[in-house]
Amino acid sequence: MTYAVVLGSVFVVHVLAMLSPGPNVLVVTQTAASRSRRAGVLVALGVASGAALWSGAALLGLSLLFAQVAGLYGALTLLGGVYLLYIAVRLWRGADRPLVLTPGEQASAQSDAQAYQLGLLTNLTNPKALVFYGSIFAALLTPDLPTWVKAAAFSIIVANSTLWHVALACLFSTESTQRFYQRAKGWIDRIAALALALLGLRLMLPIHGTLFA
């Protein structure tokens, strides 16, 4: 394959994977709709940072560690499932609380840090992402490829993740979306909580699926 075909394949496969709704999409859209565009974008940037770390780890061959260290993958998967269940419980318990939107330009440093951390941890607590990136790179990035091609593939992953999740944050932070969210907050939060809980259980149980969109 030519370099262009390799990089094009990485781009297409990653975009198709992101189109499958998972915990990253849920936390970005729910935060943007319930809080502000600023908060949603910060969560999106946290998710993108997680994608950079996972894909970077895959390029370094750390996915082989899962195969060599017994129980490591299972432990990280269990941790990720517990974290998603924790978010789901918090979201469910707050479903009936009145919505107080925070203006994006007035968000505090603490809430900024919390928003970014939410996105980062949501992505990092899903070790299936490392397996996915490792599979892509193993299939498409052969050892004989130049370093710049591998760096370009890494850049494509990071750019895709950033643009996709920031776009979602901007879309779901519009006034019309937030007005709808205010009217249907209880139902939306409970549905999102159930979805996150199911995704958490899928991580904890031996069920295969794409959970890193």
Contacts of 113 (CB under 8 A, 6+ apart): none
Measured in degrees and rounded to the nearest 5, phi and psi for residue 126 equal -120, 90
Q: Is the pLDDT of residue 211 over 70?
A: no
Read off the pLDDT band of 107 (50, 70, 90). very low
Q: Tell me: the pLDDT tens digits for 2-48?
A: 889 989 988 988 888 887 668 898 899 989 988 889 999 999 999 99
Q: Which contacts of 6-9 are long-range, i.e. CB under 8 A and separated by 24 or more positions? A: 6/140, 6/141, 6/145, 6/149, 6/153, 7/149, 7/152, 7/153, 7/156, 9/140
**What is d(CA 70, CA 58) in angstroms, rounded to the nearest whole number?**
18
Predicted pLDDT of residue 100: 55
Read off the pLDDT band of 201 (50, 70, 90). confident
Predicted pLDDT of residue 123: 92
Of 163, 147, 125, 171, give the one whose Cα is nearest residue 11. 163
Q: Which contacts of 152-155 are long-range, i.e. CB under 8 A and separated by 24 or more positions? A: 152/7, 153/6, 153/7, 153/10, 153/59, 154/52, 154/55, 154/56, 154/59
Q: Is the pLDDT of residue 189 over 70?
A: yes
Q: Is residue 165 within 8 Å of residue 39, measured between CB atoms?
A: no
Q: What is the value of pTM for the model shown?
A: 0.75
Helix (H, G, I), strand (E, B) or coil at 121: helix
Q: Choose between 103 and 166: higher pLDDT.
A: 166
Which DSSP string do the residues of 20-42 spell out, in sequence order? S--HHHHHHHHHHHHT-HHHHHH
Read off the pLDDT band of 106 (50, 70, 90). very low
Among the listed ranges 19-23, 65-69, 132-136, which one has the minimum average pLDDT value?
Answer: 65-69
Predicted pLDDT of residue 158: 96
Neighbours of 9 (CB within 10 A): 16
Q: Is the pLDDT of residue 177 over 60?
A: yes
Predicted pLDDT of residue 120: 95
Read off the pLDDT band of 131 (50, 70, 90). confident
Q: What residue type is assigned to position 138 of the chain? A: A
